[in-house]
Amino acid sequence: MKGMKWMLVLLALFFTCMPQLGRQDLSAKASTVKKEGKIGLGPYWFEGKAEINHYTLSQNRYRDLHPGEAVLVFVTEPFLTDKQVKNDQGQKKNSTTVLKLNNIQRFTTGIYDYSVMTSVFTPEELKRFPHSLKVTSSSQDWCGQTFMQINQDKENYKVELRSYFENEGDQNLSLPQALLEDEVWTRLRMGPDASNLGFSPGLKIRTWAKARSKGNPDHALKHVAIDALRF
């Protein structure tokens, strides 16, 4: 009987320590990556899981703050650099690993319901691709729908805007590559060294959804262009 008790104690200790050993092993790998000077993603991001964050939201709209919620989902994916879509077929040519962020925000303004989703695709190889390759942003409310997509196009960003509203309309423009406001979230998760790559002091691009929430929606696209200039 005593032998059985000791066996149960040893088994309990063994299974209790297993997760801790796993964490220590991952920490050691992460430290090794850091010592090698690699800028990118550690083993935490390659466990086949996503990181989910939930926040209480206070959203500026119509010159007032409105309560809501925000959900941020981070996950790594293979991404085709030429087509700028997920690499579903597993091809190796023109493929790189990206940290994808899906930023989902929901709030109400009076009786209006708003749903805003922004997706950011930031490559792990920031020395090779110093800027995020793609950002999409869409908004749905009781008035209608709007959509904006930013794609890296050689030395510039190609911007497409599709909107229900006349003053925003269907527009296309080109902007110089700069730090995207929405990619700050993904860069922070790649470590402090990643936050400096590709950043030109005084340059940033605010995505349409952010610009639109700051003030008059009639000037949203104008704000996007202005924020790409020096501030």
The most confident of 24-28, 143-147, 213-217, by mean pLDDT: 143-147
Q: How confident is the model at residue 152 (pLDDT cuts 50, 70, 90)?
A: very high
Tens digits of residue pLDDT in 153-195: 988 999 999 998 888 778 898 988 888 888 889 988 887 766 6
Q: Mean of the pLDDT values across residues 77-100?
A: 93
For position 92, what pLDDT does the model report? 84
- Give backbone dihedrals phi and psi of 159, rounded to 5 degrees, phi first: -115, 130
Task: Look up residue 124 and give its amino acid.
Answer: E
What proportion of the chain, given as a percentage, has pLDDT over 70? 65
For position 116, what pLDDT does the model report? 92
For position 32, what pLDDT does the model report? 39
For the chain, where are the alpha helices, taking DSSP H only?
2-35, 184-188, 208-214, 220-227
Domain ranges of the chain: 1-37, 49-227
Q: Mean of the pLDDT values across residues 12-31?
A: 37
For position 77, what pLDDT does the model report? 95
Task: Look up residue 29 and give its amino acid.
Answer: K
The most confident of 128-137, 176-185, 218-227, by mean pLDDT: 128-137
For position 39, what pLDDT does the model report? 56
Q: Please choose, from the candidates 124, 74, 134, 76, the residue with its C-alpha nearest in 3D space to the C-alpha of residue 104.
A: 74
Q: How confident is the model at residue 66 (pLDDT cuts 50, 70, 90)?
A: confident
How far is the C-alpha of 2 from the C-alpha of 48, rounded, in Å?
A: 43
Does the structure show a pLDDT above 90 at 96? Answer: yes
